[in-house]
Amino acid sequence: MDLGYIRVAAAVPHVRVADCKYNRTRICNLIDEAVKKDVQIMVFPELCITSYTCGDLFHQRLLLDSAEEQLKEILLATKDVETVVIVGMPVPAGNQLFNCAVVLQKGNILGVVPKTYIPNHSEFYEKRWFASSAHTLSNTITICNQQVPFGTDLLFKDDKVCFGIEICEDLWAPIPPSSFHCLNGAKLIFNLSASNEVIGKTEYRTSLVKQQSARCIAGYVYVSAGGGESTTDVVFSGHAIIAENGSILCESKKFDEQEQLIISEIDMDRLALDRQKTTSFMAPPGRSANLSSNYRIVPFKLKDVNIQHIHRHIEPYPFVPQAEEKRKKRCEEIFSIQVAGLSKRIRHTGLKKAVIGISGGLDSTLALLVTVKTFDKLGIDRKNIIGIMMPGFGTTERTSNNARKLMESLGVTIREISIKEACIQHFKDIGHEPQVHDITFENAQARERTQILMDIANKEGGLVIGTGDLSELALGWATYNGDHMSMYAVNSGIPKTLVRFLVQWVAEDYMDANSRETLLDILDTPISPELLPANAKGEIEQKTEDIVGPYELHDFFLYQMIRFGFSPRKIFFLAKKAFGQKYTPEFIKKWLKTFYSRFFSQQFKRSCLPDGPKVGSINLSPRGDWRMPSDASSKIWMDEVDAL
């Protein structure tokens, strides 16, 4: 099953300074371990065959000969190994010595890449021993009796992956070589490094790797020298990082006494889609020819691995940061975006009043909180916020009480208008039996509520604030021209899983005891439109997640489909990993099918959405992020779900 993943590894061996034979044994042991774990490409630290800290010993012919001899031994030991291995060593060429990465597979050297930027500052004196790649005199080199490509213009390419290489200081340059590699097709970069530790350097180094992987929309595998390097003047920690488009997938333990092999999978499908969507991912205008004319492609055959298990963590709640501090900051930022959007709309219209339907549910609660904050920001009296309770056939005492208590604690104007008599009259007018609790019964109530809100807004000179969220828009869980419609939809960019955390954040950080208690009870209330009568105990009978499925699953499906363009098969694979401890594969498949069915069939509702602020990378506005024909066929997606 090809899901677009490439399994990569960064290896940190324990070395002895200038003992190439010992270092070779450590390298080979880690190669063996990687092979057992089906690693397809792996990388070792800079100059790992000799060790980085040999100093003037790099000018000793015996050391250079020993390095080449041990490279031969590595080639012999890996003659049947399909894993691509990248090792570091000093390589003489002409009258110069280069700090190089050697790429090998199945006993053959695919190419040798020299370092470009040679540091000669502070504790670094590499120019004392090594020349820059800018000074190479030939584009081939003979090493271990093999004539192989030599230079920084090499890209190693298979049908599934194209990768490039840079070495340590190259990453710290204003324009790293990897930038050009990626503009010319590389989606994966390997960096062999020997970066010593000083205070604050780890954070800076990590930020460089994250930023370069993001800027290049690429996978980035970085590994630095570790245990065994000389500590005469500096110390190395064995820092290794596997990153993908700005995110850290895996990281080594610094200063670990044991050798390390960190493994993860790079999602090539994700990178490909992100590059397709990012129209600024290109060479600077007028420089395209200069960037691409000199690159040489080195073909190779990637080890075929049937990846059924992935090492990388799959976040079940992609819209919600798991770290509490980060989650609070995210909530504050989102809330500020909502408030800023509504503030601009109110200033533009000149209106001084807002009208909101308050049900006692999560969405209307968040919309009310945003509106209150907006009015405070604009210096408008909260009494100009008209919160309207519109009890119907399914309204429960719990939600009704919560709606009233919340509005009282916030100091907004409260109105209560029952929709029962109006709906009964409407049923008579259209010849519908009230005892028939079908779609007409439900939607008539939603449209009656919207009519009330719109008419009061006209009467009062106010703005109707929409309460529907992103998850409801994705599933079409809204009545067309009912709760689907408003004058400004403040929640339209926020998924249901995030709505809950936003309300909780406001409750904990900004509310007094009374408001907090009400908000916490709202958080504990089952999600429901309350369009069907309550049960005999007066409790909510119509529970949304019993009908359309868990919102945590649908938000996960939505994120993977829209953000990365993944297929149903891949989303199913990821969902099983993310929710495997909670839901069975059959359960996940059932609701995945529901998601695709509803997402396609309900596009017509999204094609005429009210304005509302975008808050994250996923948005379904027809004017911005998601332009889809309402009559598109879902057949190929549904067929793939059925085949799972």
Reading the block at residue 172, the tokens are: 């710290």
Beta-bridge partners for 156: 163, 298
Q: Is the pLDDT of residue 282 over 90?
A: no
pLDDT at 515: 85
pLDDT at 294: 81
pLDDT band at 513 (very low <50, low <70, confident <90, very high): confident
| DSSP-assigned letters across all residues of 508-531 | HHH--HHHHHHHHHHHTSPP----
DSSP state of 135: G
pLDDT at 292: 54
Contacts (Cβ under 8 Å, ≥6 apart) of 391: 400, 416, 418, 419, 420
Q: Is the pLDDT of residue 439 over 50?
A: yes
In angstroms, the CA 307 to CA 60 distance is 45
Reading the block at residue 505, the tokens are: 């954040």
Please list, residue by residue across 607-618, b when 16 or more beta carbons sit within 10 angstroms of its beta carbon and e when fewer do.
eebbebbbbbeb
What average pLDDT does the segment 84-89 reach? 99
As a whole-number percent, the residues of the chain with pLDDT over 90 amount to 85
Give, to the nearest 10 degrees, the angle between helix 496-510 and helix 513-523: 160
In angstroms, the CA 538 to CA 506 distance is 29
pLDDT at 4: 93
Residue in 46, 169, 244, 442 annotated catalytic: 46
Give the C-alpha distances (Å, rounded to integers) separating 21 from 74, 133, 405.
10, 27, 77
At residue 103, φ and ψ (nearest 5 deg) are: -100, 125
In angstroms, the CA 604 to CA 251 distance is 45
Catalytic site includes residue 608: no
- Sign of the Cα pseudo-torsion (391, 397, 402, 405, in order): positive
Residue in 20, 54, 162, 168 annotated catalytic: 168
Catalytic site includes residue 115: yes
What average pLDDT does the segment 436-449 reach? 93
pLDDT at 289: 43
pLDDT at 534: 64
Half-sphere exposure in the Cβ direction for 208 (13 Å, CA) = 22
**Secondary structure string (H, E, C) spanning 438-501:** CHHHHHHHHHHHHHHHHHHHHHHCEEEEECCCHHHHHHCCCCCCCCCCCCEECCCCCCHHHHHH
pLDDT in tens, 324-339: 899 999 999 999 999 9
* Domains of the chain with bracketed CATH: 5-299 (3.60.110.10), 324-642 (3.40.50.620)
Please tell me the pTM assigned to this model: 0.90
What average pLDDT does the segment 98-110 reach? 98
pLDDT at 581: 94
Query: β-strand 140-143 against 219-224: which pairing, if any?
Result: unpaired
Contacts (Cβ under 8 Å, ≥6 apart) of 311: 7, 250, 263, 264, 265
**Secondary structure string (H, E, C) spanning 553-604:** HHHHHHHHHHHHCCCHHHHHHHHHHHHCCCCCHHHHHHHHHHHHHHHHHCHH
pLDDT at 509: 85
List strands edge to edge, sheet with 413-416.
413-416, 385-389, 353-357, 462-466, 488-489
More confident residue, 534 or 46: 46
Q: Is the pLDDT of residue 118 over 60?
A: yes
Residue in 54, 115, 166, 169 annotated catalytic: 115
What average pLDDT does the segment 392-405 reach? 90
More confident residue, 536 or 104: 104
Query: β-strand 108-114 against 96-105: which pairing, if any?
Result: antiparallel
Q: Is the pLDDT of residue 286 over 70?
A: no
At residue 390, φ and ψ (nearest 5 deg) are: -130, 75
Q: Is the pLDDT of residue 533 over 90?
A: no
Please list, residue by residue across 53-88, b when 16 or more beta carbons sit within 10 angstroms of its beta carbon and e when fewer do.
bbeebbeeeebbebbbebbebbbebbeebbbbbbbb
> Closest Cα to residue 642, out of 602, 589, 605, 595?
589
Catalytic site includes residue 423: no
Q: How far apart are the first and last CA of the chain?
A: 12
pLDDT in tens, 320-375: 998 889 999 999 999 999 999 999 999 999 999 999 999 999 999 999 999 999 99
Cα 56–chain centre separation? 46
pLDDT at 618: 94
pLDDT at 557: 98
Give, to the nearest 10 degrees, the angle between helix 568-579 and helix 585-601: 130
SS3 at position 231: coil
More confident residue, 288 or 9: 9
Q: Is the pLDDT of residue 213 over 50?
A: yes
